[in-house]
Amino acid sequence: MGNSVESSLLSWRGGMSTTRGADRRRYPRIQTAWPVIVEAADGRVGVGQVVDASLTGMRVATDLLLSRDTAVVLRVSLPTGAGRLEMLATVVRRHPDGLAVRFLTEADEAERVAPFMAPGDIRRWAKKVPVSLPVRIEVGSGEEETVPGRTVDLSASGARITTSAPLGAGDIVILELPGPDVGATLRLPAIVWETYTGGAVVVFANLAVAERQKLRGYLSHFA
């Protein structure tokens, strides 16, 4: 398994962006309690907990002893039933109780962590496109659990929508957008982050790579 991790890291390092000092501090951190498995490139594996996270990295409590600049894979179990993230990172500091890591290819990892940041921070980070599109909001598995709505704005991290149906903060939903091609749709898993009279803010949760690429292409139609 270590060899597969090393080969993945080598291919990702070519596109790696670096963020240092004050640039990292402009991203706020949130306190978390997410279970995590940490795998080093040499095959050593440890378990622990993500104790805080930002758009550029995480602090992990673990007994696994790793030196600075060690490449790792993090397998993080997300809250509210949103699945699991698998991310490539590098150790930037050691703490008495664990490690601080920085994501490789930060833009991609930021999109995956962003749904769990504060809504205001997400919306400052991701460029919003004002666009009114009809959407279907799937709040369950049955057809009767699908409600209509419209977008107010849309970004790589989420959307502001209007709908007459009551939604609850923390609800896991599917947002279905009309695709750029006739008859096509774009279906994105999301979490209802906050609600207000007549609408809600949703953030996209745990998008697959292909889904993120489709969303970027979709947004380019309205840029």
Q: What is the pLDDT of residue 146?
A: 86
**Total number of domains constituting the chain:** 2
**pLDDT, average across residues 141-162:** 84
Q: What is the pLDDT of residue 134?
A: 93
Same domain? For 21 and 110 the reply is yes
The continuous run of DSSP H or E covering 70 comes out as none
pLDDT per residue as tens digits for the range 83-139: 677 888 899 999 888 999 988 865 555 666 666 665 555 555 567 889 999 999 988
pTM higher than the cut 0.75: no
**pLDDT, average across residues 158-178:** 87
Please state, for a pLDDT cut of 70, what percent of the chain lies above it. 70
Same domain? For 110 and 7 the reply is yes
Same domain? For 142 and 191 the reply is yes
Same domain? For 10 and 103 the reply is yes
Quickly tell me which residue has 């378990």 as its tokens.
47
The larger pLDDT score, comparing residue 28 to residue 31, is at 31
Same domain? For 183 and 82 the reply is no
Domain harbouring 48, CATH code = 2.40.10.220
**pLDDT, average across residues 24-52:** 81
Single out the residue in 114, 143, 164 at which a domain terminates: 114
Same domain? For 24 and 98 the reply is yes
Same domain? For 8 and 110 the reply is yes
Same domain? For 100 and 9 the reply is yes
pLDDT at 45 over 80: yes
The larger pLDDT score, comparing residue 43 to residue 22, is at 43
Same domain? For 154 and 74 the reply is no
Distance of CA 1 to the CA centre of its chain: 25
The larger pLDDT score, comparing residue 147 to residue 29, is at 147
Q: What is the pLDDT of residue 6?
A: 43
**pLDDT, average across residues 144-158:** 87
**pLDDT, average across residues 179-205:** 81
- Say if residues 152 and 160 touch (Cβ distance below 8 Å): yes
Q: Which domain holds residue 110?
A: 2-114
Q: What is the pLDDT of residue 209?
A: 72
Burial class (CB in 10 A: 0-12, 13-18, 19+), 164: exposed
d(C-alpha 40, C-alpha 208), whole Å: 23
Q: How many CB atoms lie within 10 A of CB 130?
A: 10
The larger pLDDT score, comparing residue 74 to residue 114, is at 74
Q: What is the pLDDT of residue 24?
A: 40
pLDDT at 33 over 90: no
Single out the residue in 66, 87, 114 at which a domain terminates: 114
